[in-house]
Each structure stands twice: as structure tokens, then as C-alpha cells.
Amino acid sequence: MKNILLIATGGTIASKDNGNGLTPSIDVNILLDYIPVIRQKCHVTGISLMNIDSSNMDTSHISSISECIMNNYNDYDGFVITHGTDTCAYTAAALSYQLINLSKPVILTGSQLPIDVEKTDAVMNLTNAFIYSCEDISGVFLAFSEKLIKGTCAKKIKTKSFDAFESINFPYIATIRNNIVEYNINTFENIMTSGNGFHIKTDMCTDIAVITLFPGMNYNIFDYLNSSCRGVIIEVLVLEECQIIL
């Protein structure tokens, strides 16, 4: 059986109601107690790297995840990361670029409900993440609601539905049906083993801004951005085909 490392970072999946709302507080070993069947599929070790709400995730936390993977890389065949859903897609994208020459699966997952509440989606998502982590694939992926999504293409589009994430401009890598992984045949080249010499590069620039163009906006904001940021991402509506009928 393969050796898989679970890296817990907090999020809703590990939260409990302390009387003032949900707070990440469930230990990684307690998370594993909810999915005992997974120990029949792989050898599992858990690390509680941090226990934070994903809204508090920043670049230093993401770098810590990369460093944890690097420090344990030779001892494990795959990695599962539990993470809050609000920023999970950001972390998946960042890790995709920080983990260089990755030749093992790194699977992020989370849940819309805590793992200890009735009808939670956490048990299914965490179980599926381990199933994916035992596959002979490489790369960073997000496992959610039976789907496996490429780390750079995941986006949270729903706040309450269990089917919270979609793959943007790229097909799903795979789905799980009755504990069996079914791959999309058009994505094989994106999940094959990378080259040797795994290492990490954790430098990330935070002097950036994202703005959305809208009619009537004050373009003086660009004067401020020019003096404050090293880069600006402008979101605009692009029409592939526009036909005007008079």
C-alpha cells in the first residue's frame, strides 16, 4: 500500500461551533477517525500544520504548505491537504507553480459543512481525496464532490451547494463512481509524471491588484495603481462573437 501524508490547515472541514460561530479546531487525527475505511487503501500519517479559517490564508501560509511537502517528499507517495473552501482554489493554483518538477499527487479538499455534523460532505470529499492520492498521477489537484480538478483551473462558484467548484476552461481530470476513478481521456497529458529534481520556489509578489472594468468608472484609479502596484489584472467582458442588427 502507498504512504500518504494528510496535511491539515483548518477550514470548515475541521471546524466546531464554539458559541460564536464555526472555528477551526479539530485535530488531524480526529479527521482521520471519520474515515477509518481509508486505512484499508493506504498507510496514512497526519500533520496539523495550522488551524485557520481560509479567509486568513496568505502567501506565508501557502509557502509553509510547500515547505511541508518538500520536507516530507521522499517519505510519501502522495499528499492530501484539507483546506477551507473560500481560498482553496487560490492555494491550489499557487502550489501548482511552487512545487516544481512534482512527480506525485497533491490533492486539496475541504467541505461545505464540518466533518462532525449530520449529512456533511466532508467524509465523501476526504475519502475521495485519498483515493485520488493513491493514483499514479502527478500534479496539484482539487478534489470536491467526486470530481478531480486541475489546480490552476478550479474556481468556487457556489457558497452552499456541495457541488461548489467548477473547472474553468478545462475539462475535469476525473470523477469517482462507486470508489472507482474514471479519467477524462483528454486530460492524460496533464497528469503524467514530471521530471526529476523536485524543488520548491515560494517567492510570491503581493504588490498586485485586480480590478473589474465597468461603465462610468473613475479611471484616475490607474494613477494610484501605477504608483502602488507592480502588476494589475483587469477583468473585462470579452465577447467571442458580437453581431449588431440595425
* Residue whose C-alpha cell is 483548518: 10
Catalytic residue of the set 9, 12, 109, 120: 12
CA–CA distances in Å: residue 40 to residues 3, 43, 109, 116, 131: 12, 8, 20, 22, 11
Q: Is 12 annotated in the active site?
A: yes
140, β-bridge pairs: 106
Each as own residue / partner, the long-range contacts of residues 116-119 (CB below 8 Å, 24 or more positions apart, any chain) are 116/16, 116/26, 116/34
The H or E element spanning position 210 is strand 208-212
Q: Which of 106, 101, 98, 102 is nearest to 81 (CA)?
A: 106
Q: Which sequence positions are flagged as catalytic?
A: 12
